[in-house]
Amino acid sequence: MATIITLITDFRTSDGYMGAIFGVIKSINPNAEIITIASNIPAADIRKASQALSNSYRFYPAGTIHMVVVDPSVGPRRRALIVDDDRYLFLGPDNGVLSPVYRSRPGARIRQINNEKFRLVSRSETFHGRDLFAPAAAYLSHGIPPDEFGPEIADPVMLDYPELEVVGNDIVGRVIDIDAFGNLITNISAQYVDDAAVIQFCGRTIQGLSRCYSDVPEKHPLAYIGSSDTLEIAINRGDAANYFGALINEEVRLVGAGHRLNA
C-alpha cells in the first residue's frame, strides 16, 4: 500500500507552488499518495492551519505523514520539525502550527530537521515547503526513520490556547475558529453541555441545544455539538459570524454550568 502524505498550506494552485511540492515528492517516491487537506488557508494564518490539522489528522490510517506548511517566518533561523506519535508523522515549521499534536499526543517525539542529506541540493530559503519539507516527507515515506533527520528537541513553539474559566456559576469559553460557512467553533467541550444549556453570546441568549441546523427556522441562531465534539453556534441557512459580528476569541458563556468544570 502506498504511503499517504497529506498537505495543509496557504499556497494557491494558480502559482504553481503546490505543483512544485507534488513534483518533489513524486520524484523521490513515485508511489506516494498525496492528498491535499487544505491549500487555501488564509496567508500566514498559523491558527487556521493548526485548526485544519486538528480537525482532520486522526481520521487517516496509521502511517500517514501529515505535512503543514504555513510559515510566515520562513528562513534559516526558524527550525523545521518532524513529530512522531507512533501512529503518524507530522512535518511543519516550529511556529506553533503543530500545537494540536503536542496537546493531544504529549508523549510524541519532536525532532529538528537538520540533516542536509534530506534537502534539495538546489534550494531557496524562502520556499521550505518545496526544498525542505517535501523531500523530508518523501524520504520518510520510503521508511527512513525520523532519528536520521536530526536531534530531538523539548521546547517547540506552542500557540496560545484559551482555557475555560469559571465565572460565578458559569463556564466562560471562547470562539477558537470560524469555518467557511460562518459557523462559530468554541473551546467548550461537549462534556460540559447538556440539552437544556443556556448560552449567552454577543448580548444574546440561545436556549437549549439543537441536533442540526433544520431544528430551527431559517435565519435563526442555534447552538449544537459540532463534528469536533465542541459547542458551536450557527445560523440556519446563514452566516453566524456576520449575524453576531463575532470574531476569534469572542466570549461564550454557558450559564449555570460552572460546577461541571470543577467536577
Provide DSSP, the chain.
-PPEEEEEES--GGGTHHHHHHHHHHHH-TT-EEEEEES-PPTT-HHHHHHHHHHHGGGSPTT-EEEEE--TT-STTS-EEEEE-SS-EEEEESSSTTHHHHHH-TT-EEEE---GGGS-SS--TT-HIIIIIHHHHHHHHTT--GGGT--B-S-------PPPEEETTEEEEEEEEE-TT--EEEEEEGGG--TT-EEEETTEEEES--SSGGGS-TT-EEEEE-TTSEEEEEETTB-HHHHHT--TT-EEEETT-HHHHT-
Note the pLDDT tens digit of each residue in 139-171.
999 999 999 999 999 999 999 989 999 999 999
pLDDT at 134 over 80: yes
Residue 69's pLDDT is 95
For residues 24 and 122, membership in a common domain is answered with: yes
pLDDT grade for 77, boundaries at 50, 70 and 90: confident
- Mean local confidence (pLDDT), 46-61: 96
Residue 256's pLDDT is 94
pLDDT at 137 over 80: yes
For residues 107 and 188, membership in a common domain is answered with: no
Domain end call among 148, 182, 215: 148
**158 within domain boundaries:** no
Q: How big is the CA angle at 100 (ends 50 and 175), to the nearest 5 degrees?
A: 65
Please give the residue range of the domain that contains residue 99.
4-148
Global pTM?
Answer: 0.92
Q: Is 62 exposed, middle or buried (0-12, 13-18, 19+ CB in 10 A)?
A: exposed
pLDDT at 125 over 80: no
Read off the C-alpha cell for 127. Answer: 520556499
Average pLDDT score, the chain: 94
pLDDT grade for 263, boundaries at 50, 70 and 90: low
Q: How far apart are CA 42 and CA 77, in angstroms?
A: 23
Q: How many structural domains are present in the chain? A: 2
For residues 89 and 207, membership in a common domain is answered with: no
For residues 133 and 180, membership in a common domain is answered with: no
For residues 207 and 174, membership in a common domain is answered with: yes
